Structure 1
Amino acid sequence: MKKIKFNDNWTFHQGGGSSLEALMGGEKITKEVTLPHDASIERERNPQEPGGSGNGFFREETIHYTKDFTLDNSCADKNIWLEFEGVYQNAFVYINNSYAGKCPYGYSNFFIDAAKYMRFDRKNTIKVVVKNGVPSGRWYTGGGIYRDVNLMIGDRMHLVPEGAHLAAVDVEDGQAVVRVESTIEYTGTGVRDITICTALLDESGAVVAEDNMPVTVEEHSKGTYRQKIYVENPRLWDVDTPYLYSYRISVKEADKILDEEEGTFGIRKLQLDRKYGLRINGKVVKLRGGCIHHDNGVTGTAEFAHGAWFRVKKLKEAGYNAIRSSHYPMSRRLLEACDKLGMLVMDEFADVWTSTKVDYDYGTHMAEWWEHDVTNLVNKDYNHPCVIMYSIGNEIPETGNKFDVQWGKKLADKFRSLDDSRYVTNSLNLMLSIMDRLGDLMALATEGSADVKEGADLGENNEINSMMSNMGDMMEKLTASEAAGQATREAFAQVDIAGYNYAACRYISDGDTYPNRIIVGSETYPKDLDVNWELVEKYPHLIGDFSWTAWDYLGEAGIGKITYEGNQSFGFYAPYPEKAAYCGDMNLIGDRRPISYWREIIWGLRKAPYIAVQLPGHHGETPNMTNWSMTDAVRSWNWKGYEGKPVTVEVYTDAQEVELYINGRPVEKKKVGETKKYMAFFETIYEPGTIEAVALSDGKEVGRDVIISAQEEVRIAAAADMTRIPADESDICYVDISMVDALGNLNPGADKAVTVSIDGPGVILGFGSGAPASSENYFDKTAKAYEGRLRAAVRGNGQKGTVTVTLNADGCGETKVQIEAV
C-alpha cells in the first residue's frame, strides 16, 4: 500500500467553519500550517481561562483545518484512506463538503475510508473540525491535528491498514517461531489466486527467514491468514540490545506485486510468574519506570520523531528502562523511539470509562467508542517489541462497583482477543474505587483522629489530586483498609498484572493475601522511591515502580511546587502564571533535576555522589510540600547576595558517609541516611568558589562530586543537537542555550533575557525555558533563562539551505548556530 505523508498545505482557522459562522464573520485567525500542529500552544495564556490551572491556563476552543489537493485518474479504481494519528479532540472529517467520519477520542489514531468521496484530476477539499469542549482534560491537552496525517492508496486487493501482525510465539535456544497474521481485503469482483510472501530481514538487509502462502480470494471478501516462519539463531530484542529485524509482506498475483508493507519487528520472549516476576528472554527485569504526559514543552503536543527520540534517550541516560503513557495511547513516534533505544512501554487506554472526571472528557463517548479505540491502539502497537503490557485504565472509580467493573472484563477480553502476546493491567487508585462509600469509611477511620486536614474538601466531585493531598495520612489508611481490598478484588482478578497507584502500603500484605497476584507500582510518589525500590528488589511478585513523573508537563499546574507563604491552601493547584506540574525528574526542556540523580543512585546505576543546594532565600523556613514534591534544591554554587549567610546542602550517595569541603577546607562529615535514605544534609555558610563532596565507605573514598561557582560575567553558549533537519518540515532539532562564564561553567543564577532570531529556510517552532511559572509564551522571541538554560526548537520551511539561529542578550554579545535544511 502506498502511504504518503499528508501534512503540508493545510489552512488553520478559528471556529467550526459552519456556514452560519461564515455569515457572521467567523474565521478570525487564518494561517497556513504544516502538520503536526498544536493550536493551543500558539494562543496567549489567560488567567481567566475556564480550564484554569488544570490546563495550565492555555486556550481550548473549537477550530478547523482545510486542505485542497488533487488525485490523478490512476487512483480512480483504488481504495483510499486517510489516517489521522491524533486529533484533539472530537474530530469531524468532511471531504468535498460531505461528512466522511469522526473520532471523539483525542488520543486515538483513526481511519477514514475516503474513496467514494474523491474526485480525480480536479480539486478535492478536506475539512477537519475539532470540537474541543472546555474543560476536556485534567492536564494540558493541546488542540488540533497534533500528530501526522497519512494518505493511503491501495489496490482492490490489499493488506488492510495496519493489517500485518508479527509475534514471536516461541523463543528457545537457537530458534524463534514468528507468527505472522496478514489481513487481506478484496473489494473487486471475481475469484483470484494470490500469494502472500513474507520475509524477515536482518539489519544488513539479508533475508533470514521467509514463507510463501497460496491463497484463493473470493470477491468482496476480507480474511486473515496465518504463517509461521522459523528464525535460526535469532538476535533478541531487550533494553540493552534493542535489535530490530525488518519485515516485508507482499501480496502477489503471478509475478505482479499488488500490495506490500514493510516495517520493523523485534524478537523477544516475555514470561510472568510469582517465582521470578517479569522475565524478558529468560532474564528477570525490574521495571525502573516513569509516567509521562504527551506534551513536549516548548512545542506543545505537536509530535515529531526527533522530539520523541530526544525524550526517550534522555530518560534512558537517567536510568529508566520503562515508561507508562499516562493516560492515553502512545504516539507512533514514541513507540518507534522506544523500539530503537530499548525502552519498555506500558501503553494505557484511557483516564476514564463511563463516568467523567471533567465535564467534556472521553467519558462522554467511551461507552460507544471503546471497541473502535482499543482496536486501533492494539493494531498500532502490535509490531513494537517495546510494548510489554496494556493498561485498560487509570484510577477508574467504576472498579469498585460490582456492575460497572464489568467494563474491565470487556476491555481486558478485547485486548486479549486482539493481542495474546502481551499482558494486561489496570492502574487502580484503591481510594477512588471506594469513593461511593468514602463518607462512611472516613467517619469510622477518623474517630479520634486528626489525620485529615481541617476544612479539607473530600466531596465526591472534588478533584482527585487535591483530595489526595488534603487527606494526609488518612489516604494511606483507607488505601490499606480491608474494604479497599475487597472492593477491588474483581477488578484485579480481570487482569494479568495488578496496577497499584499510590498503594505501596499493600505491596507486602497483598502478596500474601492474594498468592496469585502480580503487582506493579503503576503510579508512585517520587519521594518514596527509597522505600519502594527495596520492596521491588526483595519481592518477586512486585515487578516495578512507575514514578509520577519522569518528565515535567504542562497543566496540573503546581502539584509538585514547594511554597513558603504561610499555610498552603487545600486546593493546592497553583494560580497563574504557573503552567507546569513541576513534579518531573526532567524539567520541561529535558534537563535533569536533582531527584533524577537520587533515583539513579537508588537503582544502583550511579556510584558518584551528587550535590544539590536548597534555596538560601528560604533557609530556616518550613516548606509547604505536596505528595509530589521532595526538595527544591538545585545544582548551583552561585548565590549572589547570600555570601556569608547560612545554606543547606544535600548530597545523594549510596556510600556510608560523606565529607563536605568548601574551597578545599573540610566542613563536616556526615553519615548517610540519617534523615532520608541515600541522602546527607549539611548546614554551612555560603562562600563562592568550590563545594566538594567526598563519599566514603569503610573509611575509603568511593566517589566525589564538585560544583564550581561561575563568574558573574556570562556569555551565551549554544549548540544544535542535530546538524541537519529535513527541509520538508517533517522533523525538528533542538538548540540548547546555556549562560556560561569564560571557562564554560554554567551560571544557574544568570536569568538574562535572551532573544532569538532565525535566517534562512527555517522557523522557530518553540522557544523558552523549563520555568514552571512564567507569563512568557513559547512563540515569543524573547525569554528569560531559567537555572541558566533555554531551548529552541527549529523546523524547516520547505526550502533547502543553511539555517542560522542568532541569540542575543544584554552584555553577552551575539551567538550563532548553523543547521542545514536538506
Structure 2
Amino acid sequence: MKKISFNGNWVYHEGGGGALQSLMGGGQDTGKPVTLPHDASVGKPRDSQEENGSGNGFFVEENCNYTKEFVLKEEDKDKNIWLEFEGVYQNAFVYINNSYAGKCPYGYGNFYIDATRYVKFGEKNQIKVIVKNGVPSGRWYTGGGIYRDVKLMIADRLHLAPDGIHLACVDLEEGLAVVRSEAVLEYTGCGTRAVNVLVQLLDREGNVAAQDSMPVTVQEHTKNTYRQKLYVKNPSLWNVDAPYLYSYRICIMEGENMLDEECGSFGIRKLQLDTAHGLRINGKTVKLRGGCIHHDNGVIGSAVFAHAEEFRVKKLKEAGYNAIRSSHYPMNRKLLDACDRYGMLVMDEFSDVWTTTKVDFDYGMHMAEWWEHDVTNLVNKDYNHPCVIMYSIGNEIPETGNRFDAAWGKKLADKIRSMDDSRYVANSVNLMLSIMDRIGEIMADTSQSAQEMAGTGGAQSEINSAMSSMGDMMNRLVASEIAGKATEEAFAQVDIAGYNYAAFRYEQDGQLYPNRIIAGSETFPQDLDVNWELVEKLPYVIGDFSWTAWDYLGEAGIGKITYDKNPGMSFYAPYPCKAAYCGDMNLLGDRRPVSYWREIIWGLGSAPYLAVQPPKYHDTEHHMTSWSMTDAVRSWNWSGCEGKPVTVEVYTDAEEAALYVNGALLERREVGLEKKARVMFETVYTPGVLETVVYKDGKETGRDRIETAGSAVRIMAAADTLRIPADGSDIAYVEISMTDEEGRLNPEAGERVSISVEGPGTILGFGSADPESEENYFDTSALPFEGRLRAAVRGTGEKGSITVILNAQGCERAEVRLEAD
C-alpha cells in the first residue's frame, strides 16, 4: 500500500463552508494557503470575551473549512483509495468532488475515508473538509482544524486493510518468544486469487529474526483475518530501560508479484498483573512513575510534529518519568512512536465523556452513536506499540456511579478486549464526581450540615473548582462507604482501577476489595511524598500519575498562586491567563522546582536543588490551589528587594542542609521536618552567591549554588537540530536565553525580543512559558519569562539555508542557521 503525505497545498477558510456561504459572501475567496498540520485556533488573536473563556485559555473556537485540489494518476484507476485523517477538531465533514464522503465527530480520533468511488483519475479532484466547532467544546485548550497529518493511501484491490496488522508477544520464556501476527486481507475485486502472506521480523541490523509464509485462497469481496506465529530465538526484549525495537514486514505475494506491503516497528515484551507483584514487565515489577499530559505543545498549539513529541518524551524521561497518561483523548501516532523509542509506558485514554456532556458541545453529544467506531480506531492504532500497556476507557465519568449508565463501561471494556487481549483496561474514576447526585445522602450519613456545601456550589459546581474549594470535605466524601459502593460495578468491569485524587483509599480498599489492582490515575503534585510511600508499600498499587507532568494551554490558572486577597470561588484565572500553570515542566519544557523534588522522592536524584520564593510576596498571604506546591523559582536575581526577607527552599535526600550567602553560613537544619525531602530557610536577599551543602551521617554528600546574573544582557540562541524537512513536515526548536556576559541566565531580563527569518523557513510559533502573557504565539516579538523564549521553525517547501534573527534593544543581534532539505 502506498502511503503518501497529503499535507501540502491546502487552503484554509474561515466559516462553516456550507452550501450558501459562497453565495452570501458575494463569491469572494478569503482562503489562506496552509500546510498541514494546522492549528486554526492558535493562529487567531485571543479574545477576553471568548465564550469558553479560561477553560480554553481565551483562544477563539470557530467553524472553519479546508479545500484542496489534487490529481490521481491514470495507472491507479483500478486501485482502492483512502484518506486517513489523524485528527480534526472537531465534527469533520468530508466532501470529495462535491459529494459527501464521510464524517467523524470525535476531535481526537483518527478516521478513514474510503474515497474510491468519488475520485477521478488523470484529472483534477477537489476535497473539502468542513469543521463544526461548537463553543464550548472542551474543558481545556482543544485547538482547531486539521491539526494532525492526513495521508493518501493507494492499494491493489487485494490489500492489507489500513491498520490491519496486529503483532503481539503471546508467550515468553528464557531464550524464546512467541509472536502472534494477525493480518486483515481485504479483496474488493472479482474472482478467486491464490496468494501467500509473508511475515518477517527483523532485528536492528536488518537480519531476519523470524519469518513465516502462509498460502491463502482469497475469494471476491471478502475481508478476513489470517493468523500466523513466529518463534523468535534469544529475543532482545523491550523495556523502559532498554527499549529494543524490531522491524516487521508483512507482504501479500502473488507468485513473484508483491501486491501489498506493510512495514513498522514492534517490541517484544511480556506483561503480567496481579495483587502480589503488581505490574510486571518481562517478569520484573515496575512501579509507574507517571504524569498526565494534554495534547498541545505550547507555542505551536495542538499541531502535531514528530520533533515536538520526541522533545517532550525525552525531557520527561530525563526527569525520571517512566509512564505518561494521555489526558483525555487517544494519543497521536508520533507521540506513540517516541514513547516506543525512549521506553515510556503509556496509558492511552479514550475520552473525557460518555453519554453526558461536561460542556455544551463536547463529545458527549455523539459518544453513544460513535463509540464503537472510535474505540476500534484507537485500538488498531495502538496495537503494535509496545509502549502502550493499558487503555483507559474514560476520565472522571459521572456515569460510573449510576448502576444503569455504568453498563457503558462494560461495553467499552468488552470491545477493547475483543480486539486486544494483550493489554489491560483501566477506568480513571473521580469518586466524588461519581456520587455528585448523592451528596445530600452522604452529608446526612456523615452528620454534616448541608450548609457546608453551599460555598462549593454542590453538585452543580464545575469539578475542578469544587475539588479545590472543598479540601478536607472532598476527602471525607470520597472516603465514604457510599462512594465505595457506588463505584464497585464500574471498577469490577476493568483490570485496573484508576483513582483520581483518592490515595487515602488505597489501604482500606486493599482490604475491602482484595482482588483490585489500583493506579493513582490522577494525583495532586504536592502529595507525591505521601502517595509514593503507599505505591512502594502496597503491591497492588502499581503507580502514580501526577497532574500534570507538563504545563498546558487552557484550564487557565488551576495551579496559579495568588497573593493577599483570597480568590474564593474564582478558581480559574481571568484574561490574559492562558495556561494551567500546574506542570512539572513549564510550557517550554523547562523543569520547575517540583520536578527536582519529585525525582528525589522517586529515589532517582541525589543532588540537592535550590529554589527561592519571590521576596516581594514574602509578607503576603499565599493562596494555593490543590495543584500547586510552591511559588519558588531558581533565581538569585531580585532587583529592588535588597535587604528584604526571603524564603529559600532546598530539596534533597540528605539528612541535613546548610545554607550559605556569599560564603557566610546562615544556618544548618534538619531536612524533612515539614515536608519530606525539603527544608526551608529564612534569610535576607543579598546579591551574590546562594549555596547549599547537604549532609548524611555528618558527611557532605552534595552542593548546589545560584549566582546573581550581571546587569548586562546577551541573547544566547541555538537550534536543537540543524536540519529540517523542506516540505514543512517537521520543525526545529530555537532555544533562546537571556544571559549576562559570563553566560549566567538572567531571569529578570525584561528586554523585548523580536524575531525574523531569512530563507525558505517560517516561524510557526514564538513565545515564552509565561502563563499570563497577553502575546500571541504568532507575534514577531515577545518578552522573556524567567529569562527564556522559544521559536519553532518550519520549512516552506524549498531547500536551502534558513537564518533566524533575534534582536533586542541594547543587545547584540543573535543568529541561528538551519538547513532545509
TM-score range, shorter chain: over 0.9
Structure 2 counterpart of 1:3, one-letter code: K
Work out whether residues 760 and 798 of structure 2, in 8 Å CA contact, stay in contact via their aligned partners in 1: yes
Structure 1 counterpart of 2:496, one-letter code: I
CA distance in 2 between partners of 1:4 and 1:72 (Å) = 13
State the match for 2:722 in structure 1: 723
User: Alpha-carbon deviation of 1:469?
Assistant: 1.1
Superposed CA offset, 1:554-579 (max 9, x none):
00000000001411121310000000
Work out whether residues 286 and 544 of structure 1, in 8 Å CA contact, stay in contact via their aligned partners in 2: yes
Superposed CA offset, 1:624-664 (max 9, x none):
11010110100000111111111000000111110001111
Structure 2 counterpart of 1:101, one-letter code: G
- The 5 Å alignment of 1:754-793 reads 754-793=753-792
Work out whether residues 564 and 621 of structure 2, in 8 Å CA contact, stay in contact via their aligned partners in 1: no
CA distance in 2 between partners of 1:667 and 1:810 (Å) = 39
> Is 1:395 equivalent to 2:396 in the alignment?
yes
State the match for 2:196 in structure 1: 195
Higher deviation after alignment, 697-706 or 553-562: 697-706
> Is 1:425 equivalent to 2:429 in the alignment?
no
Work out whether residues 563 and 624 of structure 1, in 8 Å CA contact, stay in contact via their aligned partners in 2: yes
CA distance in 1 between partners of 2:495 and 2:668 (Å) = 48
Work out whether residues 660 and 666 of structure 1, in 8 Å CA contact, stay in contact via their aligned partners in 2: yes
3-state DSSP of counterpart to 1:42: coil
User: Alpha-carbon deviation of 1:751?
Assistant: 2.5
Structure 2 counterpart of 1:225, one-letter code: Y
Higher deviation after alignment, 779-788 or 14-23: 14-23
- The 5 Å alignment of 1:279-358 reads 279-358=280-359
CA distance in 1 between partners of 2:203 and 2:278 (Å) = 31
Give the 3 Å change call, closer, same or farther, for CA 103–449 of structure 1 in structure 2: closer
State the match for 1:67 in structure 2: 68
3-state DSSP of counterpart to 2:793: strand
With the length of structure 2 as denominator, give the TM-score of the two structures.
Answer: 0.99
Work out whether residues 585 and 592 of structure 2, in 8 Å CA contact, stay in contact via their aligned partners in 1: yes
3-state DSSP of counterpart to 2:815: strand
Superposed CA offset, 1:449-494 (max 9, x none):
99x4763312x33211011112121000000000000000010000
3-state DSSP of counterpart to 1:572: coil
Structure 2 counterpart of 1:472, one-letter code: G
Q: Which runs of 5+ in 1 are unaligned?
A: none
State the match for 1:656 in structure 2: 655
Aligned length: 820
Work out whether residues 725 and 733 of structure 1, in 8 Å CA contact, stay in contact via their aligned partners in 2: yes
Structure 2 counterpart of 1:511, one-letter code: G
CA distance in 2 between partners of 1:503 and 1:398 (Å) = 18
CA distance in 1 between partners of 2:369 and 2:17 (Å) = 26
Work out whether residues 169 and 177 of structure 1, in 8 Å CA contact, stay in contact via their aligned partners in 2: yes
CA distance in 2 between partners of 1:490 and 1:662 (Å) = 58
CA distance in 2 between partners of 1:187 and 1:449 (Å) = 64
Structure 2 counterpart of 1:24, one-letter code: M
User: Alpha-carbon deviation of 1:448?
Assistant: 6.1
Work out whether residues 564 and 620 of structure 2, in 8 Å CA contact, stay in contact via their aligned partners in 1: no
CA distance in 1 between partners of 2:817 and 2:65 (Å) = 35
Structure 1 counterpart of 2:368, one-letter code: A
Structure 2 counterpart of 1:550, one-letter code: A
- The 5 Å alignment of 1:263-662 reads 263-445=264-446, 447=448, 452=452, 455-458=455-458, 460-662=459-661
> Is 1:808 equivalent to 2:807 in the alignment?
yes
Work out whether residues 749 and 788 of structure 1, in 8 Å CA contact, stay in contact via their aligned partners in 2: yes
User: Alpha-carbon deviation of 1:749?
Assistant: 1.0
> Is 1:732 equivalent to 2:710 in the alignment?
no
User: Alpha-carbon deviation of 1:207?
Assistant: 0.8
Superposed CA offset, 1:138-195 (max 9, x none):
0000000000000000000000001110000011100100000000001111111000
User: Alpha-carbon deviation of 1:28?
Assistant: 7.5
State the match for 2:245 in structure 1: 244
Superposed CA offset, 1:59-100 (max 9, x none):
001000000000011111000000000000000000000000
3-state DSSP of counterpart to 2:280: strand
CA distance in 2 between partners of 1:413 and 1:346 (Å) = 17
Superposed CA offset, 1:88-143 (max 9, x none):
00000000000000000000000000000001111000000000000000000000
Work out whether residues 12 and 33 of structure 2, in 8 Å CA contact, stay in contact via their aligned partners in 1: yes
Structure 2 counterpart of 1:804, one-letter code: T
Work out whether residues 751 and 787 of structure 1, in 8 Å CA contact, stay in contact via their aligned partners in 2: no
3-state DSSP of counterpart to 1:19: coil
CA distance in 1 between partners of 2:715 and 2:87 (Å) = 37
Superposed CA offset, 1:306-335 (max 9, x none):
000000000001000000000000000100
Give the 3 Å change call, closer, same or farther, for CA 454–644 of structure 1 in structure 2: farther
Structure 2 counterpart of 1:677, one-letter code: K
State the match for 1:117 in structure 2: 118
State the match for 1:156 in structure 2: 157
User: Alpha-carbon deviation of 1:445?
Assistant: 3.6
With the length of structure 1 as denominator, give the TM-score of the two structures.
Answer: 0.99
Work out whether residues 138 and 359 of structure 2, in 8 Å CA contact, stay in contact via their aligned partners in 1: yes
CA distance in 2 between partners of 1:21 and 1:118 (Å) = 24
User: Alpha-carbon deviation of 1:701?
Assistant: 0.7
3-state DSSP of counterpart to 2:259: strand
Q: CA-atom RMSD, angstroms?
A: 1.1
User: Alpha-carbon deviation of 1:20?
Assistant: 1.5
CA distance in 2 between partners of 1:531 and 1:92 (Å) = 48
User: Alpha-carbon deviation of 1:440?
Assistant: 2.6
CA distance in 2 between partners of 1:512 and 1:422 (Å) = 26
Q: Which runs of 5+ in 2 are unaligned?
A: none
3-state DSSP of counterpart to 1:260: strand
User: Alpha-carbon deviation of 1:611?
Assistant: 0.4
CA distance in 2 between partners of 1:172 and 1:236 (Å) = 11
CA distance in 2 between partners of 1:223 and 1:743 (Å) = 67
> Is 1:259 equivalent to 2:255 in the alignment?
no
Higher deviation after alignment, 14-23 or 677-686: 14-23
Work out whether residues 443 and 450 of structure 2, in 8 Å CA contact, stay in contact via their aligned partners in 1: no
User: Alpha-carbon deviation of 1:774?
Assistant: 1.0
CA distance in 2 between partners of 1:253 and 1:28 (Å) = 49
CA distance in 2 between partners of 1:128 and 1:445 (Å) = 54
State the match for 2:24 in structure 1: 24
Work out whether residues 13 and 31 of structure 2, in 8 Å CA contact, stay in contact via their aligned partners in 1: yes
Work out whether residues 479 and 503 of structure 1, in 8 Å CA contact, stay in contact via their aligned partners in 2: yes
3-state DSSP of counterpart to 1:116: coil
CA distance in 2 between partners of 1:385 and 1:640 (Å) = 51
Work out whether residues 614 and 648 of structure 1, in 8 Å CA contact, stay in contact via their aligned partners in 2: yes
> Is 1:702 equivalent to 2:701 in the alignment?
yes
Give the 3 Å change call, closer, same or farther, for CA 612–453 of structure 1 in structure 2: farther
CA distance in 2 between partners of 1:446 and 1:320 (Å) = 42
Structure 2 counterpart of 1:506, one-letter code: R
CA distance in 1 between partners of 2:313 and 2:760 (Å) = 28
Work out whether residues 457 and 470 of structure 1, in 8 Å CA contact, stay in contact via their aligned partners in 2: no
CA distance in 2 between partners of 1:74 and 1:402 (Å) = 57
3-state DSSP of counterpart to 1:426: strand
CA distance in 2 between partners of 1:36 and 1:566 (Å) = 43
Give the 3 Å change call, closer, same or farther, for CA 28–123 of structure 1 in structure 2: closer
Give the 3 Å change call, closer, same or farther, for CA 768–381 of structure 1 in structure 2: same
Structure 1 counterpart of 2:677, one-letter code: Y
Work out whether residues 577 and 771 of structure 2, in 8 Å CA contact, stay in contact via their aligned partners in 1: yes
State the match for 1:12 in structure 2: 12
Higher deviation after alignment, 11-20 or 383-392: 11-20
Work out whether residues 442 and 480 of structure 2, in 8 Å CA contact, stay in contact via their aligned partners in 1: no
Work out whether residues 643 and 687 of structure 1, in 8 Å CA contact, stay in contact via their aligned partners in 2: yes
CA distance in 2 between partners of 1:160 and 1:392 (Å) = 25
CA distance in 2 between partners of 1:184 and 1:385 (Å) = 23
User: Alpha-carbon deviation of 1:447?
Assistant: 2.8
